[in-house]
Every structure is written in structure tokens, then in C-alpha cells.
Amino acid sequence: MKVIICGAGQVGWQIARHLSGEKNDVTVVDNNPELVRRATDTLDVQGISGFASYPDVLERAGARDADMIIAATHSDEVNMVTCQVAHSVFGIRRKIARLRAQSYLDAIYSGLYRRDHLPIDVVISPEKEVAEAALQRLSAPAAFDTESFFQGRSQLLGITIDDDCPVINTPLRQLTDLFSTLRAIVVGIRRDGVLFAPAPGDQIFTGDSCYVFTDTQDMARTLEIFGKTQSKQERIIIIGGGNVGLAVARALEERTDRVRVKVIEKNRAFAERAADALDRTIVLHGDGLESALLAEAQVGSADAVLAVTDDDKTNLLVSVRAKEMGCKMAISLINDPSLVPLMEPLNIDAYINPRATTVSSILRHIRHGRVRGVYSIGDAEAEIIEAQVLGTSPIAGELIKNVAFPEGALIGGVMKGDKMVRPMGDTRIEEGDVIAIFAMAEDVPEVERLLQVSIDFF
């Protein structure tokens, strides 16, 4: 597949990394020569310097015979014009654009993206994706990472193993015997900074970060087994009243269980906009780093603080200060993955990586075939792939124990109809089943081959 990626920033680079690693023909376009050089030096891609919306630049990038274009520059308007040129001049069949401005995303204007207007097949909203990720973190306060699968019927939980975890030093195969009715599988373990897919004989140790795939109905029990308690969150403070903070506050207002929310925003215009848009939420204008303002917001008695400003360091410092003042949980928005290792020493409970959520969302629309969802783990080290099993797939009709999965891949769950089944060796995978597979990055192409995803692409 020939793909043109417009924008060589963090998101564009990660998408190029994924697609080039899967032997696609990838060309990266950016008006910053340094970013293009970084992509061509570190990845197996071609690079073109220039403005992505210019027809001659797309011509040089090979748009005449491209299968897909992904417009992920920092400008919404450039992304929209790029898709228009790709369609009108070059006839590129699949066009994906990243749009940030909320006005472009309003449902009443959705007709704008029809083929006879602005021909964009998929619109990705980073702020919307990040807001949804924040709500998921809040729904599982005991987990440092979480993502839903199977239309909300299953959850991936990232759980830090503490000294009081009841299953420390227990081989994973014994967990199946000890908790025979629990629909949960440990699919990944990060130990000493290294992520791997565990074998049945591997044990869990203090300090490990485990990724557990579980049925949503078993989530509370799963957390309890791994030494965590689930508490109800009634008072939440959001630091940052921009698009992400506002989207989260709106969603919390719409929940049936009443949650008391306060928003702190430094920019007066943004604070006034948030105050006008929200009904039951208290909006405070000021710097979330100021102790006096946090005390006024009663951060010490809050169940969670969610720091979602556009500055990583501010988010980290606000989270640290809130925890020191007595807040039970702190969640930080972190764009720079090199800051993530600071989470544990700073006693920050969870983080949201906008790049990972946006990359996951774009990959969901790029993957061949019946792939329904993709979630990128860590710094693109692994993925959870949710896909429907096709009749022509090598795994259709096979017992799991007879499928030659690569070492870095594990099935986390199987949906048969509307029922989730915990995967066992003698579980038979049938045509039409939906499966969720944890796969290390280097094993993703082999997993996709097993799914035979390419046969119904385009």
C-alpha cells in the first residue's frame, strides 16, 4: 500500500513508523526540512520538503498512484485543503484528516465532508480522543492506563503491582486455577522498563506494571485480586479549561450520578467560555499552580485532579502539588513520552498520552480488513488489536493452542455473539468471532497475516 503522510511531527512520525515497519511504501511531507530529515534518517520512508497542500509537492510525493493520504499537519486548514487537492487533482481514494477546531467538528456541519464538498473520509479529533481517554482514566482510578474494547464490554487495565498484591510470586497459569470464573488475562508485563508478553510460567513481582484484559463486569474483582480497591469519585478538579478540559467537564455533567466538578483556567477568555458552556460546574479563573487557588478549590478533599493544560511540566507540577495537599488521585496529560518515567517518583497516579490516543485512532482507520480497534501501548512498543475473524483466516475453526501465534502475541479476549469468553487453549475460534490480541510492535505484521486482513481492504 502506498501512503502519503503530511506532517512529520510526533503523530505523523509515529504513523510513518508503524506503516513503514509493515512494509508499506510511505512518503512523509513537511515544510520543515529538519523533521523530514529525522523521518528519513530513522525510518524506511521517503521524504519531501514543502507545503502538503501544494499540488506540485503532492505530485513529487507520488500522489498519482497513492492509495491513501493522511493529513496530520498542525493546521486544520492545510489538512482540509490537502485532502481536497488529493481528491480533485490526484483521485486518491482514502483521505484522513486531523482537525482540532471544535467548529469543524460540530455535528450540524458534518455534511461539509461529503465527496462533493470537502472529500474527507475520516476526521480525527485529538481533543475528543484525549477527552475520552481522560474519562476512561477517571472510570478506573486504581489503574494507570485503561482502554475499552468490544463496544465497552471489556477493558484493558494497566495495574502497578504493590507489596500488598495477593498474587505476587504466583505463576500466571495458577491464576486460572485459583480464579476459574474470572474473565481476565495478563497480556503484558513491564519490568525494569522492558515490556514483554508473559509466558504461562512467568510470575508477577512487586514493582511490575501489568496490562490485564478483563470483562467489564469483572473489572472490580480483577482490581481487587491485584491488590487495588475501586473508590467512587464524587469531587473532581480539572486544571485547564481548553477544549479537552471543557469536553471532560461536559461529559461529567451529563452523567446520571452527580459528580461535583470544578475547572481552573488561567486564560480569562477560555475561563469565560467554559463558564458559559457549563451548567453545574464551578469555573475558577487563575493559575492552577498557585497553592492558594488550589486550596480555594478544596483540592485536599477532591477525589481526583485532572491536569490537562497544553504544558506538560505544568501538568506534572500541578499534579504533585495537588497530591501533597491531600488529593487522592492525580492524572496528567503528557505529550512528551520522555517525561513518563517521572510519574512514579513524583507519585502521579496515571497519565494520558495525546500522541498515543491520536495514533491509535488513526491506525484504527488504516488497518486492513475487519480491524475494529487499535490501542498503542507505551511508546508504540505494543498494540492491542481488536478484529473480526474472517472465514478465510488461517485461525478460523482452529483451537487457540493449535494457532502459531508469535511469541510476543497473546489473545486477551474472544467475543462470541454478545458474550465474552476467556481464551483457553481449547477455545475454538470461529468465523465471525471478534478477538482482541496483544502484540509486541515487531509481531504486528505476523498477527495481521494470521487475521488475513488484506482480503477485504478497499
Q: CB-hemisphere CA count at 13 Å for 69?
A: 32
Q: What count of residues does the chain have?
A: 458
Give residue 205's pLDDT: 93
CB neighbour list of residue 329: distance below 8 Å, 6 or more residues apart: 141, 233, 303, 304, 305, 349, 350
What is the value of pTM for the model shown?
A: 0.73
DSSP 3-state of 58: helix
CATH 3.10.20.90 fits 359-456, yes or no: no
In 3-state terms, what secondary structure has residue 57? helix
Q: How many CB atoms lie within 10 A of CB 124?
A: 25
Note the pLDDT of residue 126: 79
- Kindly list the domain boundaries of the chain, sorted by start residue: 2-124, 235-352, 359-456
Whole-number pLDDT of residue 455: 34
To the nearest 10°, report the CA torsion of 88, 89, 91, 93. -70
Residuewise pLDDT in 10s, the chain (458 residues): 899 999 998 788 888 887 887 678 999 999 999 999 999 998 999 999 999 999 999 999 999 999 999 999 989 999 999 999 999 999 999 999 988 887 787 766 767 777 777 888 888 887 788 888 888 888 777 888 888 888 888 999 999 998 888 999 889 988 888 888 889 999 999 999 899 999 999 999 999 999 999 999 898 899 999 988 777 788 999 999 988 899 899 888 887 677 899 999 999 999 999 999 999 899 999 999 999 999 999 999 999 999 999 899 999 999 999 999 999 999 999 888 778 778 878 888 888 888 777 777 787 777 555 677 788 887 778 989 888 888 888 898 999 999 989 999 999 999 998 888 889 989 999 998 999 999 998 898 888 788 764 434 33
Q: Give residue 367's pLDDT.
A: 59
SS3 16: helix
What per-residue confidence (pLDDT) applies to 406? 92
Could you report how far apart the first and last alpha carbons of the chain are, in Å? 11
Under 8 Å between Cβ of 369 and 380: no
The domain 235-352 is placed in CATH, from the list 3.60.20.10, 2.120.10.30, 3.40.50.720, 2.170.260.10, at 3.40.50.720
Asked whether the domain spanning 359-456 has the same topology as the one spanning 2-124, the reply is no
User: Hey, what amino acid is at 77?
Assistant: E
Q: Which CATH architecture has domain 2-124?
A: 3-Layer(aba) Sandwich (3.40)
Count of beta carbons in the 10 Å neighbourhood of residue 404: 9
